[in-house]
Amino acid sequence: MSTKKKMKLKKFSFHPITAFILLTFGVLVLSWLLSIFQLQATYTIVRPENLELESVFVSVKNLLNYDGIKYIISNAASNFASFAPLVSLLIALIGLSIAHASGLIDAFIKRVTLNIDNKKLTFILILIAIFSSIINDVGYVVLIPLAALLYLANGRNPLLGIVAAFCGVSFGYGATLFVGSMEVNLISLTTSSARLIDPTFHVSLTSNLFIIIAFSIILAVIGTIVIENLVVKKLGKYRLSLEETQELEKLTFPIEEQKKIELEINEKKGLKHAYIVGLIIIVLFIYMIIPNFPGSGMLLDMKETTYLNQLFGTNSYFQDGFTYMVSIFFAITGIAYGVGAKTLKSDKQLIEKASDYIKNIGSLIVLLFFASQFIAVFKESNIGTVITAIGANLIKNLSFSGIPLILLVLIVILVSNLFMTSPVSKWKILSPVVVPLMMQSNISPQFAQFILRAGDSITKGITPLLAYFVIYLGYLNIYNKNREPITIRKAISYAMPCCLIMGAAWILLTIGWYLIGLPIGPGVFPTL
């Protein structure tokens, strides 16, 4: 009986590409049905220049009609070309492929990570993944491919590294080790909403600094425990291919003494070259973000008045070009290693080896195309905006205060996050309601902003509407050795233990911080 049930379930599992196509058609039908029932909502936004409230009416747009089909066909190319994960991934892979082709990544793994305990390595990976959210979504495109190589070289399941990196970035997105782009983007909305109650209220950029540092370390510990004790069991053992076995043997198997001595000399020389060149590149990049020195500050938006806005603002050159900077770093240090270690004979050899590394992403490119169409169509339908606006009205109409209000806001945010993954877009709708209500309940606007960060992180990694979810899904399938592809449902199931346990930690720690009254930043507390 159970075998028959399993066979029936298999019939309903679709390849991820097919799933995104069906999801797109599902959105079209859903938009038609919801428009028939006239699903709509009104929300308010704050005009920062005069602190006036403006009502915005939004309704579900029917896309299963002449105009909807015309939009889908005419915008398919632009939706794909402007899809952030596509551009970011291709740029990141250029640098990573050169570093891998030269042997730099293998040499670094062999001499550094092979000597690190598995749990410590997972902790370091998750902590770096959490920290990476300081600059938007760079962690998804850099750490996921790197984590797969790292775990494979350490004789572990590369899928485990992919899941660990993805969960670290997604479920730790609201916690970093310093103020970053998310803070800069949210701060103006929080300040404007707070001034509806107190016209002189000021929210500093470091107002969440203490609590995000503490949460980043705590979540990294919890994530490590979950990955090493639960997710590793779900994934099982990994069967190495012949090519992967040969690559692993190069790192771990003993070789002839003379060749070993020669190889070690070349590796040390190559790594020395890479370290020196890498340090020079880092110094140059740092100089580019220091203002008021000769030729410095070229990556800053000097139209902004504060340094953090210059560094992480909407038009910051540093923020917009960071993925390219990382790619340049890997490419140049890779070439430096190859020259020093004598692993590169010519530019032709480098290009051929680099091309071999990225030859398996063809199916991922196709997956990115259909995912971009699905996300664009869903956004055009306004379903996510309506759901978030309904959530804002629910908070406004229920007269909660204290912990019940905090829990209600968290629930609304984590539910709306399944349909609207941008924290700034959600906060634009929710902050004019949430911040004044919390201030009237003696909860500080700064803590309200942190609650947004918490709710946004809890469910970020379990929705296919997250643009970077497709990179996670694509890399799972690149390293998948089973005949059956890893579906969207299965990919979510791998991340679910982290979602549930790290999510519970977010909620319990947030409430605990509020009850104890610990400072959340310099001179800032959960209460007013």
Over the stretch 88-98, which tens digit does the pLDDT of each residue have?
Answer: 999 999 999 99
pLDDT digits (tens, 9 = 90+) for 423-459: 999 999 999 999 999 999 999 999 999 999 999 999 9
Q: How far apart are CA 472 and CA 141, in angstroms?
A: 9
What is the per-residue pLDDT for 520? 95
Q: From the CB of residue 516, how many other CB atoms can be counted at a distance below 10 Å?
A: 8
Q: Among positive and negative, which fits the CA dihedral 63, 66, 71, 74?
A: positive
Mean pLDDT lowest among 24-38, 238-252, 503-517: 238-252
Burial class (CB in 10 A: 0-12, 13-18, 19+), 399: exposed
| This prediction's pTM | 0.91
What is the per-residue pLDDT for 176? 84
What is the per-residue pLDDT for 9? 46
Question: Mean pLDDT over residues 230-244, rounded?
Answer: 78
What is the per-residue pLDDT for 366? 94
Tokens read off for 21: 């196509």
What is the per-residue pLDDT for 241? 63
The CA distances from residue 299 to 142, 284, 295, 307, in Å, are 21, 11, 11, 12
CA atoms within 13 A on the CB side of 209: 11
pLDDT digits (tens, 9 = 90+) for 150-172: 998 888 899 999 999 999 999 99
Burial class (CB in 10 A: 0-12, 13-18, 19+), 137: buried
Q: Which amino acid is at 74?
A: S
Mean pLDDT estimate for the chain: 90
**SS3 (DSSP) at 1:** coil
pLDDT digits (tens, 9 = 90+) for 325-341: 999 999 999 999 999 99
Name the DSSP letter for residue 300.
Answer: S
Tokens read off for 202: 């000021």
What is the per-residue pLDDT for 252? 55
Question: Mean pLDDT over residues 97-101, rounded?
Answer: 93
Closest CA to 299 of 276, 265, 324, 332: 324
> Residue by residue, what is the 3-state secondary structure of 450-496?
HHHHHHHHHCHHHCCCCCCHHHHHHHHHHCCCCCCCCCHHHHHHHHH
Which helix (H) or strand (E) segment holds residue 59: the answer is: strand 52-59
Burial class (CB in 10 A: 0-12, 13-18, 19+), 298: exposed
